[in-house]
Amino acid sequence: MKKLIALTAILLSAPVISDERAEIMANPCAACHGTAGKVENSAFMPLAGIKAEVFVKTMKEFRTGERDSTLMRGLALAYTDQELEAMGQYFESLPKGGEK
């Protein structure tokens, strides 16, 4: 019962970002980082299969400048922590090789 209450609290506290919404937010990334996070390009890293926590940490470091960037700082500043987490979960769920 306690678990159920805790669960309900979590679900009610913040608007849930659906998987589809996360995917829609992550789709612009594909222009550089590849469709479904897969790219073979010396300049841009693939995002398919990246651990969500690594994605979120990296984006937060772009925000502060702790991690240097050209345009990633601007992008990272536009999304909320919750949105970054959702996008990170999406990229983590993508297979690294082969077709989606």
Partner 1 sequence: MISRRNFLGMALAAGAAGLLPLSARAATGKVVVIGGGVGGSTFAKYIKMNAPQIEVTIIEQNPIYIRPYGSSEVLNGHIQMSDLEVSYDALRNKYGVNVVVDKAIGLDADKRVVTTASGAKFDYDRLVVSPGIELLYNRIEGYSREIAETKAPSGWIPGSQTALLRDQIRNMRQGGTFLIVAPPNPYRCPPGPDERGALVAEWMQKYNPTGKVIITDPKNEFVTGQDMRLGWNRLYGYNVPADMREGMPALQQHSEAGIIDWIREVDGGRPLAIDAQKMQVETEQGFIKADVINVVPPMRAGKVATAFGLTDASGWCPVDPYTFESTLVSKVHVLGDSVSASPLPKSGFAANNEAKVAAYAIINLFAGREVEEPSWENTCYALAGKDYGFMVIGVYGMRDGKIANLPRPGFQTLDVSDTKHRLAAVYQQAWMKSFTEDSFL
- Give, in order, the Cα–Cα distances in Å from 78 to each of 38, 62, 74, 96: 23, 11, 7, 27
What are 69's two structure tokens?
């960037």
- Give, in order, the Cα–Cα distances in Å from 51 to each of 31, 57, 89, 96, 98: 20, 10, 8, 11, 18
Nearest approach, Cβ of residue 97 and partner 1 (Å): 16
Confirm or reject binding of residue 95 to partner 1 (CB under 8 A). no
Kindly state the number of chain residues that form the binding site for partner 1, as judged by CB under 8 A.
39
Residue choice 49, 52, 61, 67 for contact with partner 1 (CB under 8 A): 52
Nearest approach, Cβ of residue 35 and partner 1 (Å): 5
Nearest approach, Cβ of residue 65 and partner 1 (Å): 11
Confirm or reject binding of residue 42 to partner 1 (CB under 8 A). yes
